[in-house]
Structure 1
Amino acid sequence: MGTEQRGVALAKSLDDVKTISANILGNVLVTLQTGEKGRKVNKVLIAQDVYYPGETPTKEFYVSVLLDRAKGRNTIMYSTEGGMDIETVAHDTPHLIFKEEIDPKVGLRDFQCRKIGFNLGLSGEALKGMTKFIASLYKAYEATDSSMFEINPVLKTSDNKIIAVDSKVSLDGNALFRHPDLLAMRDVTEEDPTEVEAGEHNLNYVKLDGNVGCMVNGAGLAMATMDIIKLSGGEPANFLDVGGTANAARVEQAFRIILKDPKVKAILVNIFGGIVRCDRVAQGIVDAYKNMGSINVPIIIRLQGTNAVEAKKIIDESGLKVYSAIALQEAADLVKKVVG
């Protein structure tokens, strides 16, 4: 399989479209965004050429809307240096990056749209077009519950029209239930297959690059568990939150997903028994372990909370090759011991 380095190509005829598409489809595209492994190209977007000739030169801009979490406000970030990687522009020429904060009490105002156009050096019809473009972009950002809406480049054509040439949109997954039309556009071939499988079983899973698998209930506890793995000398291989229903079927599926990663040398199960009792989780772990036949990596199990003592007894008397812990530090020491 070949490696295609160019993600964008210019076609001058229908024959060019066919040839270029054939060369790209099925090949691996390697860019800064994909990393060294790249991504297999399954689809090609064919768009109209808007760089038509004219007396007035064309100009490319960068415009994006995103949430500034530090300030708790949506922010429009824009630059005259469109068509380039914005990180490079920010590093090499930070004075060419502009920001416009949006007050959530009043929303985007008309004067802010005009200010953006002025800062981009526009006037006349191009300024009017950009003002309307910014207002429409912000409306689209809010209406789709996006976390980031980037247009790069925004093109001023030779006849002073403002056109979105290319875009990148990040949607808030927690809001997709309000947008079934957007959810229907999901392409799972562009996602990590293990994360897709986890989602099908209602498991919150994110693959990382470490060697210690994590199975935890609750996002906060999962973050603390990853910290303790780091402090013990290991590296977390994943974030996995099984939620409040840690029954045998759910635990088994979580084990199977974690073990799909060949880098995993140990698994740390860290469950706090609040909504779900620890003894029920322990029995679920035992049943899942036996149902899977054998697990070839060490498992450290820490169950704390309601019926934690009973849970430890179930684990200790199960005959399984697992390590049982009560204190978090004890679990960390066991991770250090088995990972080495």
Structure 2
Amino acid sequence: MDLYEYQGKELLRQHGLATLPGRVAETPEEAREAAEEIGGTVAVKAQVLTGGRGKAGGIKVVSSPEEAQSAAEQILGMDIKGHTVRRVYIEGGAEIATEMYLSVLVDREAKKSLVLFSTEGGVEIEQVAEENPDALVRLHIDPLVGLMPYQVREVTFASGLTGDSAKQFGKAFQNLYKTFESVDASLVEINPLVVTESGDVLALDAKVTVDNSSLYRHKDIAELHDVEAADPQEQRAQEADLQYVKLDGNVGILGNGAGLVMSTLDVVAQAGGSPANFCDVGGGADADKIATALDIVTSNEKVTGVFFNIFGGITRGDEVAKGLLSAIEKTNISLPIVVRLDGTNAEEGREILAENTPENVHTAETMLEAARMAVELSGKGGN
């Protein structure tokens, strides 16, 4: 679950990181009041769950409450990469001497936490990695051991800071990792982490992503979920206890098991197609759950065909076939659907589909054959 900047900063503050004073505003009038309360130069910052807001005009620095109100009028309602701005964050100004980048994320391949640090903050870290890789420090942290003092010293030395600023940086690094661990985050990022002219170290931005699987342990964070901003398909899938991630393609994907679905995405891409989603219906899915999953997948306007890939284990092939036919009947889907059944009772399942198949349902015995058929029937570009 992604958090807005103002929510992420509140978490950082709770764990000892220093930030500038700020207030959330949902109307231009509230923005003016916030600017009056903070005083001096303020930044009016769009609150959206995506990057690139600065380039899109979603951040404006103003010097008076009236200008803050005018800036909020321009930013509220703005569309930034498909996200509508419904709140702005009014934040105090600072005299910045140095901008840096600091983050902690989960490195799933290494099965460790990964610290990324760069003295080049305020720009996209991918750009730094590509154009100046020597400016990027990578440091793995063993989760069984935690952040060690020598690692704090290593990154602090890389920052080039001295004196009290170096001490503040080291403390900020420790507190950032403490935030990462305590909220079960998959990413905590500060870009930029700044040093002011007076030598103070402050977090000027905050990007926090919390592992959804841990939210039962963090009721307070779960309550921060913004239902209005959520993708409608992903929101419905969450309510139906389905694992669903929206992608940019046109071939809808359903399967039973995360590994199988991931393989299906790869095979569709290999066949020249573009997956529209990841959707795992789980083991033992009944007709109602399959119907819900199909309805969610096909409610995406980009989807022009569906690939249903099932391996019978806990879920027997004949039961899947019956559930699928019942689901198609309930949802009245007319898009082409390609079904590949394998595993327990797969032959019986294919026979059931062959005897009762609607015109828009097609079967295939192998995953590659099914993927090619799904791509062909869906159209590579969705046209």
Short-chain TM bin: 0.7 to 0.9
Say whether 1:308 aligns with 2:346.
yes
* Distance 1:304-1:168 versus aligned 2 partners, 3 A rule: same
Shift of 1:136: 0.9
Say whether 1:190 aligns with 2:229.
yes
> Which sits farther off after the overlay, 311-320 or 134-143?
311-320
Distance 1:77 1:313 in 2: 54
**Deviations for 1:166-212, whole angstroms, at most 9, x for unmatched residues?**
11112222222211111111123333221111211111122223332
Equivalent residue number for residue 173 of structure 1: 212
Equivalent residue number for residue 14 of structure 1: 65
Equivalent residue number for residue 154 of structure 1: 193
Say whether 1:250 aligns with 2:289.
yes
* Distance 1:280-1:5 versus aligned 2 partners, 3 A rule: same
Q: Percent identical across equivalent pairs?
A: 40
Equivalent residue number for residue 13 of structure 2: none
Equivalent residue number for residue 271 of structure 1: 310
What is the one-letter code of the residue matched to 1:283?
A: K
Equivalent residue number for residue 221 of structure 1: 260
Distance 2:195 2:273 in 1: 52
Say whether 1:67 aligns with 2:106.
yes
> Which sits farther off after the overlay, 69-78 or 190-199?
69-78
Asked if the contact 2:271–2:368 (Cα under 8 Å) also holds between the matched residues in 1, the reply is no
Q: Kindly report which structure 2 residues correspond to 1:46-195, keeping only aligned pairs within 5 A, or say none.
A: 46-51=90-95, 58-195=97-234
Distance 1:43 1:25 in 2: 7
Distance 1:311 1:96 in 2: 57
Asked if the contact 1:114–1:127 (Cα under 8 Å) also holds between the matched residues in 2, the reply is no
Secondary structure of 2:311's partner? strand
Distance 1:229 1:88 in 2: 30
* Distance 1:309-1:88 versus aligned 2 partners, 3 A rule: closer
**Deviations for 1:196-240, whole angstroms, at most 9, x for unmatched residues?**
112111111222233322221111111222233334343322221
Asked if the contact 1:210–1:263 (Cα under 8 Å) also holds between the matched residues in 2, the reply is yes
What is the one-letter code of the residue matched to 1:82?
A: G
Distance 2:367 2:140 in 1: 43
**Deviations for 1:266-324, whole angstroms, at most 9, x for unmatched residues?**
2222212211222222111122222233x222222222222223322322222522223
* Distance 1:336-1:170 versus aligned 2 partners, 3 A rule: closer
Asked if the contact 1:64–1:150 (Cα under 8 Å) also holds between the matched residues in 2, the reply is yes
What TM-score, normalized by structure 2, do the two folds share?
0.78
Equivalent residue number for residue 54 of structure 1: none
What is the one-letter code of the residue matched to 2:76?
A: L
> Which sits farther off after the overlay, 76-85 or 225-234?
225-234
Shift of 1:42: 1.0
Distance 2:183 2:356 in 1: 50
* Distance 1:10-1:251 versus aligned 2 partners, 3 A rule: same
Say whether 1:44 aligns with 2:88.
yes
Distance 1:173 1:291 in 2: 31
* Distance 1:119-1:247 versus aligned 2 partners, 3 A rule: same
> How many residue pairs get matched?
325
What is the one-letter code of the residue matched to 2:72?
A: S
Equivalent residue number for residue 299 of structure 1: 337
Secondary structure of 1:47's partner? strand
Asked if the contact 2:99–2:119 (Cα under 8 Å) also holds between the matched residues in 1, the reply is yes
Secondary structure of 1:234's partner? coil
* Distance 1:270-1:40 versus aligned 2 partners, 3 A rule: same
Unaligned runs of 5+ in 1: 52-56
Say whether 1:230 aligns with 2:269.
yes
What is the one-letter code of the residue matched to 1:304?
A: D
> Which structure has the larger Rg over C-alpha atoms?
1
Unaligned runs of 5+ in 2: 1-52
Distance 1:307 1:83 in 2: 56
* Distance 1:119-1:211 versus aligned 2 partners, 3 A rule: closer
Shift of 1:336: 5.5
Distance 1:331 1:167 in 2: 44
**Deviations for 1:117-147, whole angstroms, at most 9, x for unmatched residues?**
2321211111111121111111111111111
Shift of 1:50: 2.9
Say whether 1:241 aligns with 2:292.
no
Asked if the contact 1:232–1:335 (Cα under 8 Å) also holds between the matched residues in 2, the reply is no
Distance 1:324 1:90 in 2: 45
Q: RMSD of the TM alignment (CA)?
A: 2.3
